Amino acid sequence: MLWLNILALLIIAVVVVLLLGKWNGEPAPREDTPENLSSVDQLLERTHGVLSADDLENVELDPAVRGYRMDQVDKLLDALAQQLREPDQGTSADSTDVNRPDP
Beta strands in 29-88 (DSSP E): 63-64, 67-68
47 CB neighbour count, 10 Å cutoff: 13
Q: What is the pLDDT of residues 80-97, one digit of tens each?
A: 888 878 776 555 444 445
Domain ranges in the chain?
Answer: 36-86
- Report, as an integer, the average pLDDT of 56-78: 79
pLDDT the model gives residue 92: 47
- Pairing outcome for strands 63-64 and 67-68: antiparallel
The model's confidence at residue 103, banded by pLDDT at 50, 70 and 90, is low
Higher pLDDT, 91 or 42: 42
pLDDT band at 39 (very low <50, low <70, confident <90, very high): confident
